[in-house]
Structure 1
Amino acid sequence: MNNLKKVMLIAIMVMASTMSFANGDKPNVKVQSVGAKTIALTASGFGTSETQIKLRDEKGSILHTERILGENEYSKKFDLNSLKTGTYYIEVENETSFSTLSVEVSAKSTNVLNNSKVVIMKPVIRRNGDLLDILMPSEDSTSVEVSIYDSNFNRVFKETVAGSNDLRRYDLSQLAQGDYRIKMNAGGREFIQFVAVK
């Protein structure tokens, strides 16, 4: 009877931690043309994590960046008159997600390409002693490649996980002492975190 209670308690704790991982902060991002060459960006749902908003050109150069911390809503107009004709990208990124949307700028107007919106849920990493928990994104079926590299950039582990609301647990106690890089590729984006094994 006691063993059954222990097993049930452990199962409930694992489910609760998985649910808390899954409820990550996912900003709701909306971009509209509001004038000849002006766009309005409104976003909400940042949660408590730091959020970065960037405007990039076709070459990937950052033209404007802002960091938001502790605010749940953001609204700003951008005057694009000084930009050359071309395609630009609005990026909104926080600890758990990455969103991007394209804006075409012509000589006299802007066109927000709402069908170009991409939202990538990042794998969420939590460390508990020698255990490393990674919650895979659940928004789509994108597979996630997880690789662990040592301080000499040698890959010591690699796994490809089908995209699902799947919690993976890795035991770091078998690794030698040192610093390790956890690299995850999801949806064409690369996410990196570092851990130290002592």
Structure 2
Amino acid sequence: MKFAAALVMFASVATYANENDFNVTVKEGAGKAISFTMNDTKDVHVSLYAQDGTGIFDEAIKNKEGKISRTYDLNALPAGTYFLETETTAKVARYQITVEGAKAVVSEDVTEIYKPVVLSKDGIVTVSIENNATPVKIKVYDDSNEEVYNETFEGATVAKRFDMSRSIAKNFTLVMIYNDRQFVETVAAR
């Protein structure tokens, strides 16, 4: 069942400062409406999905001023658990929203996953991952899709350096898996 057509969105650019870079709240007096505000970002991908993973709404937002504000009316949604997820260049944040009766409740627990930082210069590739103490698996594939590296790391932070300058491959694909997420990045060998 698709609810995207029934989802009403009111958009506006936020013109106020907030010490949080991302904030989700229930809009006062609006029943099942939720609002989110994001500061200091110009591009964000927003998804709303049901507990079973069914996508309800998906939007890529760009704003030159670096402040984004949206309100979503969830009145068309049946009672249940939903997730609002935002993805920027640096991290993914996920809020749990419970729709019950005539209201929506936003959980105070936020799941934030920082994306890996991959730097490549002169054939040296550095991968840095700030992690929540879950195992981190890094796989590297050459341009023939052959696995050339596979290692799992334990611990909160991972920093790994690869020298790809002597390889005959032109490109490598790095697959980094942690916190039930997979991040993929392709880099040039030289």
Scaled to the shorter chain, the TM-score interval is 0.7 to 0.9
Q: Distance in 1 between matches of 2:166 and 2:152?
A: 20
> What amino acid is the match of 2:129?
M
Deviation per CA, 1:52-105: give whole Å up to 9, x if none.
111112232332222233342211211101112211111111122111011011
% identical equivalent positions = 24
Which position in structure 1 is the counterpart of 2:84?
A: 90
- In structure 1, runs of 5+ residues without a counterpart are 1-26
More helix by share: 1
More strand by share: 2
SS of the aligned residue for 1:173 comes to coil
TM-score with structure 2 setting the length: 0.77
Q: Distance in 2 between matches of 1:148 and 1:113?
A: 37
1:72 aligned to which of 58, 66, 74: 66
TM-score with structure 1 setting the length: 0.74
**Contact 2:90-2:115 within 8 A present in 1 as well:** yes
Deviates more, 1:89-98 or 1:28-37: 28-37
- In structure 2, runs of 5+ residues without a counterpart are 1-19
Match status 1:126 vs 2:119: yes
1:144 aligned to which of 110, 118, 136: 136
Deviation per CA, 1:21-68: give whole Å up to 9, x if none.
xxxxxx82221112311111112232x5x3211111223233222223
RMSD between superposed Cα atoms in Å: 2.2
> What amino acid is the match of 1:154?
E
SS of the aligned residue for 1:141 comes to coil
Which position in structure 2 is the counterpart of 1:112?
A: 106
1:41 aligned to which of 29, 36, 40: 36
1:190 aligned to which of 160, 177, 182: 182
Q: Distance in 1 between matches of 2:126 and 2:65?
A: 28
Deviation at 1:178, TM superposition (A): 4.1
Q: Distance in 2 between matches of 1:194 and 1:119?
A: 24
